[in-house]
Structure 1
Amino acid sequence: MSVQAAKHARQLLLKEYRGVLSTHSKAMPGFPFGSAVPYCLSEEGWPLILISRIAQHTQNLQADPRCSLLVAERGAEDVQATGRLTMLAEAVPLTDEAAVEAAAERYYRYFPESRDYHRVHDFDFWVLQPVRWRYIGGFGAIHWLEQVALANPFARAGGGEGEMLDHMNQDHSAAIAHYAQVAGLPPDPTARMVGIDSEGFHLSIGQSIHWLVFPDSCTSPGTVRQALVAMARR
């Protein structure tokens, strides 16, 4: 049961791209402080965020890195009957130049508008390193989980994600449109594939991010190609 719960929790983390970051208030000690933040997942499968140095939550994290991220299914009519995930974590700022460059390349694909305010304002990348997870899949489906995140084999240097994305976006826009149509997503000629992991891929459509699952888990660029071809033939 915990294996399935971990899989469902991870899929919820992949499907969503924004959550509520709760930090320990520096101005009001003892009180939690919640902020809405967008995120994408790092190479390790951990939430990657870009936050301003002057923001209250950043000052809170600098004083105490312990935090949580609450992610829930978007558009749910009954939030008590749908999935939600609370990730207890420690926030770590990225300072190594190579790590920052890799994070920026990844984050900008998901949130291209962030490129401008990252350059103009004092924003930094932080990664939320998981400590424990609390997943609720609906009424009575409640789990404490030790392991949910899954490292992305294609996101690391030389893993092939960038090349696969470039190939799909430059040469297979019709296939991308077909994936969106089959998934019931709104048609948009500017839709782009912005991320690939072992279990699925992310499409950027308008201002929204959508994650579509592969028929089977993929362990190499070759198996990703096979999965995408099979989905294009649906």
Structure 2
Amino acid sequence: MSVKAGKHARELLLKEYRGVLSTHSKAMPGFPFGSVVPYCLDADGYPLILISRIAQHTHNLKQDGKCSLLVGERGAEDVQAVGRLTLLAEARPVQDGALIEAAAQRYYRYFPESRGYHQAHDFDFWRLEPVRWRYIGGFGAIHWLDQVALSNPFAGDSELSMLEHMNSDHSVAIAHYVELASLPSQAPAEMVGVDSEGFHLRIAQGVHWLAFPTSCNSPLEVRQALVTLARAAVWPTDGQPSA
């Protein structure tokens, strides 16, 4: 059960791209301080955030890195009947030059508008290193989990190569994925991330994660999955081929 719950929790973390970050208030000791932050997942599968040095939550984290990130399903009519995930974590600034560059490269793909204020203002990357997870999949489906994050085997040059290829040469296939998954179509979609379990599309300022029919462990398997989806009449589920 915990393996299945962990997969569902990770899928929720991948599907969403913003949550409520709760920190220990420096100005009001003893009180939690909540703020909304966008995030994407780094190479280790940990949430990566970009926050201003003058923000209250940044002051809080510098004093005490213990925090939580609450993620819930977007657009839910009954928030108590759908999935939500609380990550208890230690927040740490990304300080190594190469890691900062990798973080920026990934984060800008998901949130391109961040490039301007990151470069013009005092913003820094932090990552939330998991301590424990609390996943609720609906009424009665409640789990404490020690392992949810999954490292991305393609992070780096392999992922970049796949993204550049898809966005440059296969815009028709990407448009087909949007149609199959009933995603918003008011703007062209761009593929911005690939992991072993699916891929991210950015449409305007929204980010959407779509699952592969089965997990992929190599770029060749990713290619095969994307070709299958490009030819599908309906989105395959549970490892079953499309009609």
Tell me which interval the TM-score lies in, with the shorter structure as reference length. over 0.9
Could you say which residue in structure 2 is the equivalent of 1:122? 122
Q: How far did residue 207 of structure 1 move?
A: 1.2
Could you say which residue in structure 2 is the equivalent of 1:131? 131
Q: In the aligned structure 2, how far is the partner of 1:63 from the partner of 1:189?
A: 42
* 2:154 counterpart letter in structure 1: F
* 2:185 counterpart letter in structure 1: P
State whether residues 177 and 189 of structure 1, in contact with CA within 8 Å, keep that contact through their aligned partners in structure 2. no
Structure 1 counterpart SS, 2:151: coil
2:197 pairs with 1:206 = no
Could you say which residue in structure 2 is the equivalent of 1:85? 85
Structure 2 matches for 1:174-189, cutoff 5 A?
Answer: 174-189=172-187
Structure 2 counterpart SS, 1:48: strand
Structure 2 matches for 1:151-170, cutoff 5 A?
Answer: 151-155=151-155, 157-158=156-157, 160-170=158-168
* 1:226 counterpart letter in structure 2: Q
Structure 2 counterpart SS, 1:36: strand
1:43-86 deviations in Å (ceiling 9; x for gaps) = 00000000000000000000000000000000000000000000
1:114-133 deviations in Å (ceiling 9; x for gaps) = 00000110000000000000
Q: How far did residue 191 of structure 1 move?
A: 1.0
Structure 2 counterpart SS, 1:140: coil
* 1:143 counterpart letter in structure 2: H
Q: In the aligned structure 2, how far is the partner of 1:226 from the partner of 1:188?
A: 28
**Further displaced range: 29-38 or 179-188:** 179-188
Structure 2 length as normaliser, TM-score? 0.95
Could you say which residue in structure 2 is the equivalent of 1:28? 28
State whether residues 194 and 204 of structure 1, in contact with CA within 8 Å, keep that contact through their aligned partners in structure 2. yes
1:20-58 deviations in Å (ceiling 9; x for gaps) = 000000000000000000000000000000000000000
Moved over 6 A (4+): none
Q: In the aligned structure 2, how far is the partner of 1:161 from the partner of 1:95?
A: 23
State whether residues 84 and 135 of structure 1, in contact with CA within 8 Å, keep that contact through their aligned partners in structure 2. yes
Q: In the aligned structure 2, how far is the partner of 1:214 from the partner of 1:39?
A: 22
Q: How far did residue 188 of structure 1 move?
A: 4.2
Could you say which residue in structure 2 is the equivalent of 1:15? 15
Query: RMSD of aligned C-alpha atoms?
Result: 0.7
* 2:206 counterpart letter in structure 1: S
Could you say which residue in structure 1 is the equivalent of 2:66? 66
Q: How many residues align?
A: 232
2:142 pairs with 1:142 = yes
Q: In the aligned structure 1, how far is the partner of 2:125 from the partner of 2:26?
A: 20
State whether residues 187 and 204 of structure 2, in contact with CA within 8 Å, keep that contact through their aligned partners in structure 1. no
Q: In the aligned structure 1, how far is the partner of 2:19 from the partner of 2:183?
A: 21
Q: Which runs of 5+ in 1 are unaligned?
A: none
Identity %: 74
Structure 1 counterpart SS, 2:80: helix
* 1:137 counterpart letter in structure 2: G
Change in Cα spacing, 1:76 to 1:189, as seen in structure 2 (3 Å) is closer
Structure 2 counterpart SS, 1:124: strand
* 1:183 counterpart letter in structure 2: A
Structure 2 counterpart SS, 1:11: helix
State whether residues 48 and 125 of structure 1, in contact with CA within 8 Å, keep that contact through their aligned partners in structure 2. yes
Q: How far did residue 189 of structure 1 move?
A: 5.0
* 1:232 counterpart letter in structure 2: A
Q: In the aligned structure 1, how far is the partner of 2:76 from the partner of 2:114?
A: 27
Could you say which residue in structure 1 is the equivalent of 2:170? 172
Q: In the aligned structure 1, how far is the partner of 2:199 from the partner of 2:136?
A: 24
* 2:3 counterpart letter in structure 1: V
Could you say which residue in structure 2 is the equivalent of 1:107? 107
Structure 1 length as normaliser, TM-score? 0.98
Structure 2 matches for 1:35-54, cutoff 5 A?
Answer: 35-54=35-54
